[in-house]
Amino acid sequence: MQQLNSAINTSLETPALKSLANKPGITLVGGSPEALDKMRRADHVKWGQVIRDAGIKPESRRPSRPYPIYLIPPKGYFHEQP
């Protein structure tokens, strides 16, 4: 695990990935597995509180159609060649 973590952190310093990080909405962060676990736990608490405060409940309703709907074009929709 340590070897993989080291390789990932090293790759995050490459020019190709650094240029990717300059794009909007992308943040590259390296670190240890312990730091990732700490961040994951903090996010779980933070977003759990947001969900509870907003009163968001999981949807338990089953879809009305258990099968996909395929749209079939009407006859003559595609111009057939003679």
Residue 6 has, within 13 A of its CA and on its CB side, a CA count of 3
3-state secondary structure of 16: helix
Q: Is residue 35 part of a domain?
A: yes
List, for residues 1-55, the tens digit of each pLDDT value: 788 888 888 888 888 888 877 777 777 788 888 888 998 999 999 999 999 999 9
For 45-79, b/e burial (b = at least 16 CB within 10 A) is eeeeeeeeeeeeeeeeeeeeeeeeeeeeeeeeeee
pTM as predicted = 0.50
- The residue segments making up the domain with residue 34 are 2-54
Number of domains in the chain: 1
Q: Is residue 34 part of a domain?
A: yes
Q: Is residue 17 part of a domain?
A: yes
